[in-house]
Structure 1
Amino acid sequence: MHAADEPILKIRELNKQFGTGCTRCSNSADRQLDRNYCPVCGTVYSCRDISFDLYPGEVLGIVGESGSGKSTLMKCLYFDQEVTSGEAILSVYKDGSFNLFEESSQQKRYIRNQLMGKVYQNPVLGLRLRFSSIGNIAEKMIAAGSRHVRTMEERGSELLTKVHIPVYRMKEAPENFSGGMQQRVQIAKALSNNPPILLLDEVTTGLDLSVQASVLDLIKHLQRELNISILLVSHDLGVIRMLADRTLVMLDGQIIEQGLTDQILEDPQHAYTQQLVHSLL
């Protein structure tokens, strides 16, 4: 499907562990774990040798139960957490010849502000709930170097209109908004600097079904209009089915299956994926 394209993002052998490891668990070849946890020293191996490619204009879904490592993976990609080891190459950053995880904190801030946007499951992490909605967007633009107030106001109102926040509420603080509206403000903020990559972490969890549907419709529409690459984490296969071109299935910190979304939903190979798919039917 994307044979001619170079991936926009390549992740290779990403590892994230919490704890120092011990003789029983630190050798990856014969590591003896209880799921992703070492019962001897208590180290948790949240992400284990995660490798994948994300292509331009593609929506890549990551699905798995709570504790499978998918949210930790997203935190590592957005530098909310440090990786233990691994490589991330972004084709639009320094000709794709640098490992993002080894860049300085200043460069990581630049990548976060200019080249990626993230929408968090909990709006408290992605928004200042007491700032105005338009102020939230301006904040991300200022972080990326914007200084022109009128430009920021125009961009802010354009984006908030796009995500269906009425003009008369743009100066209002998101703390007064419903959950669905808060997520839409987060989406507008994440898009403020036209990033080529958008990270969406469980963005519809906790929303009513009708609100979920409208947020998903909005994401689908924006993705097509802007041809943005999206990494979409969810434990809900319905969300993945609606949005993702390809899907990775995670369990206990590892990718256990990957392929075209339709193929994974129609003909799952791994026992865990089969269980997931049958629970959806």
Structure 2
Amino acid sequence: MEDFEQPVLSVRKINKQYGGGCASCRGPEARGLLKNYCPVCGTVYACRNISFEVYAGEILGVVGESGSGKSTMMECLYFDQEVSSGEAYIHSYKNGKANVFAESSQQKRYLRNHFLGKVYQNPLLSLKMNFSSIGNIAEKLIAAGNRNVKVMESRGKELLEHVNIPLYRMKEAPKNFSGGMQQRVQIAKALSNNPPLLLLDEVTTGLDLSVQASVLDLIKTIQRELKISMVIVSHDLGVIRMLADRTIVMLDGRIIEHGLTDQILEDPQHGYTQKLVQSLL
């Protein structure tokens, strides 16, 4: 039974910078910064003091323009990049007491394979395009220690059916699939080990509108049926409005506004968020 009072994920003051910084841009004020870039030393502060929680069965939306730090934050959460500083705790891992960023590379692989799933904007980052679709799912199961071929085949079929990929195409390589079908295979792979947390980064960008709608419907269905927690990044407020319970708004590497999605869309407080909402109307 899930503890709905306890966050599935707690993130505390994530910082990610590219460059060493200098007297002009270091420190809490960082007066020398041009947005999140230091023109003196060239350091880019991609994420600055990012903190939030994700609760059981919740979808947290992350919205902001290109370069706001959304995707960098997601890469840090999935260990695709190292954070410069900060902490993150997964409630079901070591009783939520271990800062996952401080764990060894071996433990981080374990976390990726057992506690996290990620769906990338570009399927090439997740899928082996020449493997079969069911083979891609098996790869994640094998990484988590599964060695039973029948169990893996059964799980792969179950997941492909769940994401509406016809089973007669399960031996087909994703390179033969449309963009929407590739995203569905990615989602199936990410779900293979029943992770408590799913990270989705711009999963509908570049898809036709009708395909976008079907992928969003699938995400909604998965969340409702599996009660899985999700963090979904998008620059499209329409996607966030459809999916997210709560939303954080990022600009220049910082969170500038957060709250219930309805509240942010109906009564935005920050000038940038107001412009975003106006662009949706």
**Pairwise same-fold verdict (TM > 0.5):** yes
- 5+ long unaligned stretches in structure 2: none
Whole-Å separation in 1 of the counterparts to 2:41 and 2:35: 14
The answer as to 2:170 corresponding to 1:173 is no
Aligned residue pairs total 280
The answer to whether the Cα contact below 8 Å between 2:201 and 2:234 also exists between their aligned partners in 1 is yes
Alignment of 1:140-151 (within 5 A): 140-151=140-151
Q: Which amino acid aligns with 1:207?
A: L
Residue equivalent to 1:50: 50
Whole-Å separation in 2 of the counterparts to 1:224 and 1:32: 46
Q: Secondary structure at the match of 2:183?
A: helix
Residue equivalent to 1:69: 69
Q: Secondary structure at the match of 1:28?
A: coil
Whole-Å separation in 1 of the counterparts to 2:123 and 2:210: 19
Summarize the Cα distance change of 1:42–1:141 in structure 2 as closer, same or farther, 3 Å threshold: same
Q: CA deviation at 1:160?
A: 0.3
Q: Secondary structure at the match of 1:60?
A: strand
Whole-Å separation in 1 of the counterparts to 2:29 and 2:278: 33
Q: Secondary structure at the match of 2:203?
A: coil
Residue equivalent to 1:132: 132
Whole-Å separation in 1 of the counterparts to 2:234 and 2:78: 17
Whole-Å separation in 1 of the counterparts to 2:258 and 2:167: 42
**Aligned residues with identical type, % of pairs:** 73
Q: Which amino acid aligns with 2:215?
A: V
The answer as to 2:277 corresponding to 1:277 is yes
Residue equivalent to 1:217: 217
Q: TM-score, normalised by structure 2?
A: 0.98
Summarize the Cα distance change of 1:273–1:3 in structure 2 as closer, same or farther, 3 Å threshold: farther
Q: CA deviation at 1:26?
A: 1.6
Q: Which amino acid aligns with 1:265?
A: L
Q: TM-score, normalised by structure 1?
A: 0.98
- 5+ long unaligned stretches in structure 1: none
The answer as to 2:185 corresponding to 1:185 is yes
Q: CA deviation at 1:82?
A: 0.1
The answer to whether the Cα contact below 8 Å between 2:74 and 2:199 also exists between their aligned partners in 1 is yes
Q: CA deviation at 1:28?
A: 2.4
Please report the RMSD computed on the Cα atoms of aligned residues, expressed in angstroms.
Answer: 1.1
Whole-Å separation in 1 of the counterparts to 2:256 and 2:237: 16
Summarize the Cα distance change of 1:30–1:43 in structure 2 as closer, same or farther, 3 Å threshold: closer
Q: Which amino acid aligns with 2:176?
A: N
Residue equivalent to 1:94: 94
The answer to whether the Cα contact below 8 Å between 2:146 and 2:152 also exists between their aligned partners in 1 is yes
